[in-house]
Amino acid sequence: MADNKKMVEQITDMEQDFAQWYTDVCTKADLIGYTSVKGMFILRPYGYAIWENIQREMDARFKATGHTNVAMPLLIPESLLQKEKDHVEGFAPECAWVTMGGSEKLDERLCVRPTSETLFCEHWSQIVHSWRDLPLLYNQWCSVLRWEKTTRPFLRHREFLWQEGHTLHATAQEAIEETERMLNVYADVCENILAMPVVKGIKTDKEKFAGAERTYTIECMMHDRKALQNGTSHYFGDGFAKAFGITFTDKDNVQKTPFETSWGFTTRTIGGVIMTHGDNSGLVLPPKVAPIQVVVIPVAGHKPGVMEANQAVVDALTAAGFRVKMDASDKAPGWKFAEYEMKGVPLRLELGPKDMEKNQCVLVRRDNGEESFVSLDGIEKTVADTLQAVHDGLFAKAKRNLDEHCYPAFSLEEAKALQLERGGFIKTMWCGDADCEERMKAEAGMSSRCIPFDQEHLADVCPICGKPAKHMVYWGVAY
C-alpha cells in the first residue's frame, strides 16, 4: 500500500485543481511528452496506441459508408488558399508560413496546412467532368498545423493528428445527408466506443466553420462540467466549388456545380476521454480503445506452476482477441496495481497458488474498484462480459453527469448565476440575433455550444432581448 500511495500522490487531486490534475494524468500515464517548441507535443507509445484504436474504429466506419483514404500535400500555395474568402479569413490568424526553400526565398508563400479543403477542390477541378464521377467520398488521416496561442496537451496542440473527410455530390440534398450521416458516425464512436454521451446539434453562424453554410457538432460534458466540442461536420453548399471552377455535366446534359462537405475528428478526443472518465488514481480508459484491456499480475510467481498458470490465462485471452499484458517484473504488487490504475487498464487479473488450488482468479474493475473471484473455466466469456459492464458503467456515469447538469434559464441573469454556481450546460430560448449571442458571451462568460436537434420549447421569447424566440440553445464554458 505504501507504493500505491506514493504513486497516486504523483497526481493532483481533481477537486483541488482540475487543470493540474489533467496535466498530471497526461504525463504520469505516459501519454504525452514535451518538446522544445511550444504546442508541439509528443504522443508517447501509450498515447499513440489509444489514437490507433480510435482510428481503427473510425476507419472501419468510413469504409463501411463508402469512403476511401487519400493523401494530400502538406503545403498550400497562398494563392490557392485565397480563393475562398471566408475560409482564408477564418484561418489567417492560425496559419504558419514557409518562405524559404533551402537557402532561397520562395516566389510565393506556402501555408502549412491548417485544413485541406482548398487542396481537395483544386484536385477535383481537374478530375470531375460528368455526373458519373460523383459522388467523391474521400478521407485523409494526417497532421495539421494551427498556430494556437494557448496550448494544452491534446486539447490545444499547434500540430495535431486528425482525419478530415471531404466529399463532393451532385445535389445539395445528397451533400446534406452526407453531413448528417458523418455526424452520426462521430456520435456512434463517442457513445459506443468511448462511452461519452453527446448532444447533437447545429452551430450558430458565429460558431460555424469558416466557409461553411452549416456546421453540425457533437458536444460532450467533461467531469468538471465544461464543454468539449468533439467532432464537427460541415455542409459547404456550392461556394467552394464555384470558387474553384468545379463543374460537371449532369444526366440532362446541363453543366452544373456540385456540392461539398467536410468533417473532422481529432486527437483532442483523447483529452475528452481523460476528463470524462478519469479519477484521482489516474486515467480510466473505455475498454474498446484501451491499449491493454487486461493486465495479468502473477502472485507469488516464484512458486511452482504459478507463472505457467498465468501464461495459460494470457494465451487463452489473447487467442480470444483481447489485448493482454502480463507483468512478471519484480516490482512490488502495490506498485503494479497503482501503475496500471494510473494507465487506466480496464481489468486487472491476479492469480496465485491459492487461486490455482480453487481454479479461480481475482478480477478487479478499474472503473469502480470492484473485486470478484471468478472461475478460470470460461474466463474468456467472463472477461468479455466484464469489459462490456465497464463500458456500460462508464457511459451511465457520464450520462448522469450530463443529464444532471443541464439547466433551463429564463433570463440572462439567471443563466449567468447558474453557470457560476453549478457549471454545466445552460439552455435558453434564443431569437437568433448575433448581438444576443455576444451579450451571453460578454456578460455570462458562455459561448453557444449548439442549437440541439432535440428542441424544447422553454418560453416564447429570447431571455436576453425579449424578442420572439426561434430556437432553444445550449450555452456553456468550453475547452
Using 50, 70 and 90 to split pLDDT, how confident is the model at 32? very high
Looking at the domain assignment, is residue 212 inside a domain? yes
Q: 101 and 219, same structural domain?
A: yes
Say how many domains are in the chain.
Answer: 3
Residue 399 domain-assigned?
no
Q: Rounded mean pLDDT of 94-98? A: 95
Q: Taking 50 as the threshold, does the pLDDT of residue 475 lie above it?
A: yes
62-91: per-residue pLDDT in tens? 999 999 999 999 999 999 998 877 777 888
- Using alpha carbons only, give the angle 247, 253, 255 rounded to the nearest 5 degrees: 25
Q: How confident is the model at residue 2 (pLDDT cuts 50, 70, 90)?
A: very low
- Phi then psi for 371, rounded to 5 degrees? -110, 145
Average pLDDT of the residues in 94-120: 96
Question: 87-96, 154-163, 193-202: lowest mean pLDDT where?
Answer: 87-96
**Does the pLDDT value for residue 186 go beyond 60?**
yes
Domain of 140: which CATH number? Answer: 3.30.930.10
Q: Is the pLDDT of residue 4 over 90?
A: no
User: Would 116 be classed as within a structural domain?
Assistant: yes
pLDDT tens digits for range 378-389:
999 999 999 999
Q: Is residue 354 part of a domain?
A: yes
Q: Please check whether residue 166 lies inside any domain of the structure.
A: yes
111 and 154 fall within a common domain: yes
More confident residue, 402 or 4: 402
In this structure, are 271 and 322 located in the same domain?
no
177 & 300 share domain: no
- pLDDT > 70? residue 146: yes
- CATH code at position 330: 3.40.50.800
Q: Over pLDDT 70: what percentage of the chain?
A: 98
Please give the grid coordinates belonging to residue 438.
Answer: 455576444
**Is the pLDDT confidence value at 1 over 50?**
no
Mean pLDDT of all residues in the chain? Answer: 96
Residue 394 lies in a domain: no
Per residue in 416-465, pLDDT tens? 999 999 999 999 999 999 999 999 999 999 999 999 999 999 999 999 99
Provide the pLDDT for residue 87.
78
Would residue 4 count as lying in a domain? Answer: no
Range of the domain at 347: 294-387
Taking residues 298-311, report their average pLDDT: 95
